Structure 1
Amino acid sequence: MHMGWLLVLICCFCLLFFMPSSCPLDAIPLHQTLRDGDTSVLSNGQFELGFFNFSSRRYLGIWYKSMAKGTIIWVANRNTPLNNSLGTLKLTTQGNLLLLNSSDIPIWASYNDTARNPLAQLLGTGNLVIREANDEDPDHYLWQSFDHPGNTFMPTMKYGTNLDTDLNRYLTSWKSDDDPSEGAYINKLDPSGFPQMFLGKDNQIVYRSGPWNGERFSGMINLKPNPIYSYEFVNDGKEIYYRYDLQNSLMLSRMVLHTNGDLERLTWTGGDGPSSWTLYLKGQMDDCDKFSRCGPFAKCNTMNSQACCCLHGFEPKDEPAWNRGNWSGGCVRRHKLDCGSDGFQRVSRLKLPDTRKAWYDGSLSLKECKKKCSENCSCVAYANSDVRNGGSGCLMWFGDLSDIREYAATGQDLYLRTSVSDLTKDQNPRWPIKILVPVLAIGVALLVLSIVLHTKFRNKAKIKGIMPQLRGEEPMKETEENDLELPMFSFEAIVNATNNFSRENKLGCGGFGLVYKGILKDGEEVAVKRLSKNSRQGVDEFKNEISCMAKLQHRNLVKLLGCCIKGEERMLIYEFMPNRSLDSFIFARGLAYLHHDSRLRIIHRDIKAANILLDQDLNPKISDFGMAKIFGGEETEANTTRVVGTYGYMAPEYAVDGLFSPKTDVFSFGVLVLEIVSGTKNRGFNHPDHDHNLLGHQNRISQIPLEQHRLTEVANKNFLPLNNPKAWRLYKEGRLLELLDPIGNESCVLPELIRSIHIGLLCVQQSPEDRPSMSMVALLLGSSTELPEPKQRGFFTPTKFWLGDALREILDESANQITITGLDGR
């Protein structure tokens, strides 16, 4: 009897040992197996390891267990799938994990042979490790899946290279969404020269992150302190890697290299709607992120009408090709270098050039770096390798400088070796942003208020006499009755002032044409806007700008000094603004004078940071009235089928219905206020899965019938999504501090900034009737008056307008009347 019970117990024990376990385990001890089956998984915390199916093929992998259930983060046999559900995972005596097919043939292995008493364990981070059973030290792991990532970069993972073992951890895309085998794209750290990340496709570089500058990779301006994750970059002579940790253990975030080459950070969001992965930031954002788009010794800036331009002292290598928009040939020096007399020109706000052939020494100061570069005739440029605490370290380049881009208000300084004949006074001062941000933000009240109080109006210019010339009639004589008090400059005087419109005098370009710096005979510095024959604007805008500016005199408007007309030449001469446009530093400024205190009501229709210029004392002045509309009498609004302006700043009723009023400019001003405090543009990059921008605007194009998409595409571009916290959502949740630009947080007056955000949200409300007037905005900014609650922010929503006659009229051949500018610098 006792022997019978003993046999039963032995049989039960054997059955329990060899049958697949239905209880989740977190480890596989020596000689135990994990067999393919729905209940045969390792489980720990948020993750599970087991077998799954894709297109009738079986894989061993790791996925999220509860939240984001089923999202796969790693696949073992991605290139060698199983043909059936008879696969087995076992741990060998040598410490190898072997994946066997139905014929017990290994199709994947972890390859390790140093174990004594190995154990395979799935950690709570999603990392599958092989370790000694009695040793949990991460530095002693025999093998880990985090050293062999697929398309996903997880928290706590080291992303980079071990210089002692030559192990390089990098991402490879999947071939397709249901095929995890290696795809065309690879993203990895290159340790040569000064380390940086590269995205490649078919052995060709697609995108470069730029070198680590102590705060971030210089080409990833969105990588900055945030409430979701912290990060670090380690370069200690033994290892070079980047890693990140989540700030909240309940939050899910991962970086994924998609099948199309997009490198994106995704976060898991829930809230009132269904939970899903949403875009938080993106590696490559626009065309200027395409590797070496502009060729050697050129810089790329998407805010310019022509994205590429040569560095100072250089000119296009192939001028005809360059003018056709083929910039790949880059630029060459205008004058030869003379090592004994060369100097260095500072070029600011850059993504630093490719550093694979660069040299660096973290112990040198910038002054020592300059000396070292000066002494080496092969050194073409130098910069700080670390921007923290005022800058330190030395980074030097030899040979061609490639893949440079220019930013509006961030980036680094590069010191470019320049021939003595090309050396000029530094026109790129690096203003102390930490001081400028709060001063401008808090000073909005005083600046706008000054516009309201300054009601003096002087109409010196009689513009009637200029119209015959604009129509191509006989030149006007100085003795005519309709002589202009607005001075007429001779064409020869402007040619001399601008050195025959030389490239060195070029300040920038926009929809009007090129803008040049000029010096008149009396030494006065001026800015000359020269209407281009190929300009998006034309004679009408030229007349409109003269008409507006001749009637407006205000200290916060750029002063029009005169004009020049000869043949087909049309030029406007303005006072020179030495500190460029406001978007070069940060975003801001006002309109009350134009709407309320000028004798004529003026709607600007293109208020943006690039059209606010700064004089030598950083006083802001509104410019570019080529698109402005003059209202007379009691006229307060108008409708047009010719929508003009800039994406990201247009009010929804204007972008969609063509209806504009003073409240249209109020909306643009509200965008600027929110851009001030966040240090981020409302308009950034476009992605089909991310539907919010800075204001919280949503892309609703998928809800619109197909026949309406043509015009919708134009209007909807006003509301491009942006990698930035949403102002409306943060306001509703009482978390406005998260919107503030961390660069200026140390020295700002928080109540003033919070009030500015509140007023900005009032300005961008959906309905024009709900928005305050500019005079009311000035009052609110300059007082402690209690603020009303803003209503829902404006966003594009299809209305019955699309079904009316206006739709058919605009979608007809008149569609080419739509004129919308990019974010051009002036």
Structure 2
Amino acid sequence: MKAFTYLFVFAIVWSFLNPSNTLDTITPIQSIRDGDTLVSASRRFQLGFFSPGNSKGRYVGIWYTKSSGTVVWVANRDTPLNDHSGVLKVTNGVVILLNSTNSVAWSSNTSRTAENPVLELLDNGNLVVKDEKVDGPANYLWQSFDYPCDTFLPEMKLGKNLVTGLDRFFTSWKSTDDPAQGEFSIRLDLRGLPQVVVMQGDTVKARQGSWNGLRLNGYSGLTPNPLVEVEFHFNESEVFYDYKIRNSSVFTRYIINPSGIAQRFTWLDRINRWELFSTTPADQCANYAFCGAYASCTIGNTPVCACLEGFLPKSPKAWDSVDWSDGCVRKTPLNCSDGPDGDGFRKYTGLRLPDTSSSWFDKTMSLKECEELCLKNCSCTAYGSLDIRMGGSGCLLWFGKLVDIRDIAKNAEDQFYVRLAASELDHVEKKRRSSKKKLAGIVIGSALYVLGMIIIGLVTYIWKKKRRNQAMKKGNIGKECDNVGRKEDIELPIFDLTAIANATDNFSNNNKLGEGGFGSVYKGTLLEGEEIAVKRLSKNSGQGMFEFKNEVILIAKLQHRNLVRLLGYCIEENEKMLIYEYMPNKSLDSLIFDQTKSKLLDWHMRINIIAGVARGLLYLHQDSRLRIIHRDLKASNILLDNDMNPKISDFGLAKSFGGDQGDAETNRIIGTYGYMSPEYAVHGQYSIKSDVFSFGVLILEMVSGKKNRGFSHPEHHHNLLGHAWRLWIEGRPIELIDNSVGDFSLSEMLRCIHVGLLCVQQRSEDRPNMSSVVLMLSSESLLPKPRQPGFYIDSPEANSSCITPCSTNGITFTLFEGR
């Protein structure tokens, strides 16, 4: 019994001297050794020793209990320990980290002392030194929240104490293996109206804007985030931002990563991982002063930069060569005088307010007083409301050039007024009136044009039908052609051989557009001047009468802007020909895989092509009268019209499904390797998910500019799908992007790669249908984690390719815009 009592007492003393995972506080007679941890009261955060990435150095840090690899604060970020002998303790109100020689490797800079100091890890992730008998933030002797690293947690402050001079800002790690201070930071710029900026050294890299009463005015959303409550505090002693989470069970954090990207992550318990919800800069317009002075940036416009009204490019030649950094200058100098010839203002809405570092503000003035004050000062270039709530209040004046303006939302409440010479204001007003008259003229003209086209179309239809009937009566059409028209009851013009031969200069090589397994395609011009493309089936073609009839029957019943239009057909004297509308920009493969021509396809064009093909497939699978599986979707079967809009072509291998039929099998596997889904290539099973797989391959080819079939890489033998998957699971998908793509939206690009990988998953049931794909591409919806793709591995020992399953661990690299 006595032995048991001794053992019990020893256990209590040991637990007091050596903290276990259940302790959130230590006193001066306790310490934290390498291997021990402090755990906050509700077990949300832990403190202990760790080594990041491949580093051998030892650091004291704080991380999430449910995500031990997510470190939010590091004590000795610039002075790592070389071994596991470190000890953390609190003495005289100072936190110290001792190394193997009992020397101080790091310490807090506490200036006050306490009678009973303790070190406590709070549930919000804050490590504090306080007097054990005196509680409350005001009595903290020291806290880690005052010395943040790369992570901005709820209840932290971003800003400055104007009394003590303490500046709280966030700095990136040098790398994922090194938590030392990197070159990037997020700060509150106090020049003029305070604004949040992302810095690279001493240079502003991006700007998130200033407070407008509801939010940062650089935010593109129209309503505050329902999850996060952001507050701006500005008084005589402090100026700072902080935020709170309305739902205490939600974990969210902002970071500045080693590449200088500011990101917001939220933990999703359902999938047990962090999801990226916002990023800055998210696109080229988010780069600071991307368009220079007096210019606005709008993603989706061509070009993205445009001078404000009353201004013109400062360097026109540079502007034409896509270098907008010089910005714009005034067309007419300011008069800076009173009277009718004085200056005035042009109102702008839906734009992020210009950089406020050279601004002045007053909380009490009205907007009218603000305008008058600006007119009296010749250096004032713009004015606006300080607070957008309740119709606007306060005064904000800009001095000097207006920079870093971008489009955010057409109905955003932020507005500002740019100073212009009176003559320019008159010009703007006249231009606006002229635009209204021009618009009215366009509406009337369009109505007359549509009416005329209806009449012409009706006359043409009657004439062509009459011509077809006459040809049928003369017996110039073979029985096979007759069967195509009558059996399927289609109304499709029949062209005679002489007319097609004349249109193509007797199928001259000069008129040949291309050649495939079916035969050749020729450009032709009919007597009426209409340009056509003639698909002439070769006698040696693997595609015979069945495929020919199949294409005629199916495409004649399909009408969609992203499907090529079949004008008619011809079967005469052993010739089988399909006559299509002519596509002046030929097929997608002739551009995307050519190192020179691919530069013509900028990202705006590529994303437009991807979206157009997706809409065309959705129509085939779901919205057409027939349920059609294309079975041969590939870059060479995507044609581009005069405006680079995509049109799906070649329906020779297409299959029509009826009712609720979901899939089918065939012993005749035909199509194009590299685009075939695994289940079709191996087992002959096809469904709408086969087309989804082909579409995924097409997306990855559009992003990379590389063919899936025949792709090679010095580090491995994977094809393009395998290469893309490898980059994805290693967190390097940006390396997949074609160098010739030019400027692009990072969020759009990564979303396309993500969707592409979802489409090419090994199991057909894992792939999304096209309605989901269209939604994924056009929204900011949460995307599922992709599984391993069904990809081919090019064997160095053989010329053929085989489907090879691959086992590997996967991670998610999903990018979303702010919500």
Aligned-partner SS, 1:764:
helix
CA contact (8 A) 2:256 2:262 kept: yes
CA–CA separation in structure 2 for the residues paired with 1:328 and 1:651: 30
Question: Cα offset for 1:338?
Answer: 0.8
Aligned-partner SS, 1:44:
coil
Give the root-mean-square deviation of aligned CA atoms.
5.0
2:281 is aligned, of 272, 280, 284, to: 284
Alignment partner, residue 573 of structure 2: none
Aligned-partner SS, 1:108:
strand
1:25-174 correspondence runs (5 A): 25-29=23-27, 31-45=28-42, 46-54=44-52, 55-65=55-65, 67-93=66-92, 95-117=93-115, 118-174=117-173
CA–CA separation in structure 1 for the residues paired with 2:233 and 2:167: 14
CA–CA separation in structure 1 for the residues paired with 2:431 and 2:22: 62
One-letter amino acid matched to 2:416 = L
CA–CA separation in structure 2 for the residues paired with 1:764 and 1:181: 47
Deviation digits for residues 73-101 of structure 1, max 9, x if unmatched?
A: 110000001111221222122x1111111
2:418 is aligned, of 416, 419, 422, to: 416
Aligned-partner SS, 1:226:
coil
Matched, 1:371 2:372: yes
Matched, 1:228 2:227: yes
Alignment partner, residue 250 of structure 1: 249
Deviation digits for residues 610-661 of structure 1, max 9, x if unmatched?
A: xxxxxxxxxxxxxxxxxx9666589999998349996666677825999987
1:696-775 correspondence runs (5 A): 701=700, 706=711, 707-708=719-720, 720=749, 764=771
CA contact (8 A) 1:653 1:659 kept: no
Distance 1:122 1:428, change over 3 A: farther
CA–CA separation in structure 2 for the residues paired with 1:323 and 1:633: 44
CA contact (8 A) 1:157 1:243 kept: yes
One-letter amino acid matched to 2:284 = D
CA contact (8 A) 1:127 1:146 kept: yes
Aligned-partner SS, 1:359:
strand
Deviation digits for residues 194-232 of structure 1, max 9, x if unmatched?
A: 010111113221111121112221222148433432222
One-letter amino acid matched to 1:405 = R
Larger CA Rg, structure 1 vs 2: 2
CA–CA separation in structure 2 for the residues paired with 1:600 and 1:423: 55
Aligned-partner SS, 1:350:
coil
Further displaced range: 251-260 or 709-718 = 709-718
Matched, 1:315 2:312: yes
CA contact (8 A) 2:114 2:130 kept: no
CA–CA separation in structure 2 for the residues paired with 1:16 and 1:796: 49
CA contact (8 A) 1:173 1:184 kept: yes
Alignment partner, residue 360 of structure 1: 361
Distance 1:767 1:170, change over 3 A: closer
Question: Cα offset for 1:107?
Answer: 1.8
Alignment partner, residue 679 of structure 1: none
CA–CA separation in structure 2 for the residues paired with 1:183 and 1:194: 27
Aligned-partner SS, 2:318:
helix
Structure 1, unpaired ranges of 5+: 430-453, 464-539, 549-598, 606-627, 667-696, 727-760, 769-791, 809-826
% identical equivalent positions: 34
CA contact (8 A) 1:192 1:357 kept: yes
Aligned-partner SS, 2:403:
coil
CA–CA separation in structure 2 for the residues paired with 1:367 and 1:90: 60
CA–CA separation in structure 2 for the residues paired with 1:318 and 1:336: 17
Alignment partner, residue 181 of structure 1: 180
Question: Cα offset for 1:302?
Answer: 2.2
Question: Cα offset for 1:69?
Answer: 3.1
Deviation digits for residues 355-388 of structure 1, max 9, x if unmatched?
A: 1120011222222211111121211101112222
CA–CA separation in structure 2 for the residues paired with 1:198 and 1:64: 27
1:254-403 correspondence runs (5 A): 254-271=253-270, 273=271, 275-340=272-337, 341-403=342-404
Deviation digits for residues 664-721 of structure 1, max 9, x if unmatched?
A: 999xxxxxxxxxxxxxxxxxxxxxxxxxxxxxx9998599785446999799999756
Alignment partner, residue 498 of structure 2: none
One-letter amino acid matched to 1:459 = M
Alignment partner, residue 575 of structure 1: none
CA contact (8 A) 1:656 1:796 kept: no
Question: Cα offset for 1:147?
Answer: 1.0
CA–CA separation in structure 2 for the residues paired with 1:212 and 1:664: 47
Matched, 1:654 2:613: yes
Distance 1:308 1:14, change over 3 A: closer
CA–CA separation in structure 2 for the residues paired with 1:344 and 1:108: 57
CA contact (8 A) 1:654 1:660 kept: no
1:445-456 correspondence runs (5 A): none
CA contact (8 A) 1:152 1:257 kept: yes
Distance 1:387 1:652, change over 3 A: closer
Aligned-partner SS, 2:58:
strand
Deviation digits for residues 447-488 of structure 1, max 9, x if unmatched?
A: xxxxxxx9995438979xxxxxxxxxxxxxxxxxxxxxxxxx
Aligned-partner SS, 2:67:
coil
Matched, 1:405 2:406: yes
Question: Cα offset for 1:336?
Answer: 1.4
CA–CA separation in structure 1 for the residues paired with 2:330 and 2:146: 45
CA contact (8 A) 2:37 2:46 kept: no
One-letter amino acid matched to 1:400 = K
CA–CA separation in structure 2 for the residues paired with 1:121 and 1:289: 40
Aligned-partner SS, 1:69:
strand
Distance 1:650 1:427, change over 3 A: farther
Distance 1:547 1:231, change over 3 A: farther
Distance 1:23 1:416, change over 3 A: closer
CA contact (8 A) 2:364 2:395 kept: yes
Question: Cα offset for 1:260?
Answer: 0.7
One-letter amino acid matched to 1:184 = E
Distance 1:43 1:414, change over 3 A: closer
CA–CA separation in structure 1 for the residues paired with 2:77 and 2:269: 30
Question: Cα offset for 1:547?
Answer: 9.4
State the TM-score, normalized to the length of structure 2: 0.56
Alignment partner, residue 473 of structure 2: none
CA–CA separation in structure 1 for the residues paired with 2:225 and 2:415: 25
One-letter amino acid matched to 1:641 = S
One-letter amino acid matched to 1:402 = V
CA contact (8 A) 1:358 1:397 kept: yes
Q: How many corresponding residue pairs?
A: 533
CA contact (8 A) 1:233 1:241 kept: yes
1:787-826 correspondence runs (5 A): none
CA–CA separation in structure 2 for the residues paired with 1:224 and 1:698: 35
CA–CA separation in structure 2 for the residues paired with 1:763 and 1:428: 44
Deviation digits for residues 381-422 of structure 1, max 9, x if unmatched?
A: 011122222222211011111111123525532211101111
One-letter amino acid matched to 1:121 = E
Alignment partner, residue 238 of structure 1: 237
Higher relative contact order (CA 8 A, sep 6+): 1
State the TM-score, normalized to the length of structure 1: 0.56
Question: Cα offset for 1:113?
Answer: 2.7
CA–CA separation in structure 2 for the residues paired with 1:328 and 1:82: 46
2:587 is aligned, of 641, 648, 664, to: 641
Matched, 1:459 2:453: yes
Aligned-partner SS, 1:72:
strand
Aligned-partner SS, 2:51:
strand
CA–CA separation in structure 2 for the residues paired with 1:270 and 1:659: 33
1:11-22 correspondence runs (5 A): 12=10, 16=14, 20-22=18-20
Further displaced range: 628-637 or 299-308 = 628-637
Question: Cα offset for 1:17?
Answer: 7.6
Distance 1:600 1:660, change over 3 A: closer
